[in-house]
Amino acid sequence: MKRFRFNLEKLLELREYDERNWEIKLGQIVSRCNIVERRIKDYESDKIKTFFKFNLKSSGIEMLQISESYLQKLNYEISQSNLKLDSYKSEKQKIQTKYIEASNKRKILEKLKSKEELAYYKGQALEEIKEIDDISIGIALRKRINKAQSA
């Protein structure tokens, strides 16, 4: 039996390659989002530590001014990080959409390939059955001919 050969195999490989590329891009942007989210949590944690460290000890006006400046800097960093995170999330949404499109295109071709493969092997099985029938009929005819010639 001949092996099945899908005519659109190269296109399927291109679609798989495209899907992998979008998957990698999606992984990269998710990683960036996670890094920024972690940074924001760290800033929030630093804010709380700074507040308790300097404000509860009341170690003078200068220290309170320094802690206030540091808290303002942390608030600024948090707001900048939130803007960056929003940008990354927007980009992530676009990449995710492209990834889903690429994945759907690949799945469509894979379904087509599996249907064609199934039809091909069914056809091959029918051909084999026909050949076996032809051989059986030929053997039966030869036996009759030999019987007729013997008689």
Q: Per residue in 75-131, pLDDT tens?
A: 999 999 999 999 999 999 999 999 999 999 999 999 999 999 999 999 999 999 999
Specify if 134 maps to a domain: no
Q: How far apart are CA 66 and CA 140, in angstroms?
A: 106
Specify if 132 maps to a domain: no
According to the model, what pLDDT value does residue 55 have?
Answer: 60
% the chain with pLDDT above 70: 95
Specify if 93 maps to a domain: yes
Number of domains in the chain: 1
Structure-block tokens of residue 72: 């303002």
**Residue numbers of the domain that contains 13:** 9-110
Which whole-number Å values give the CA distances from 71 to 15, 22, 59, 78, 134, in the listed order? 50, 39, 16, 10, 91
Contact 102, 18 (CB under 8 A): yes
Specify if 27 maps to a domain: yes
Give the mean pLDDT of 39-53: 88
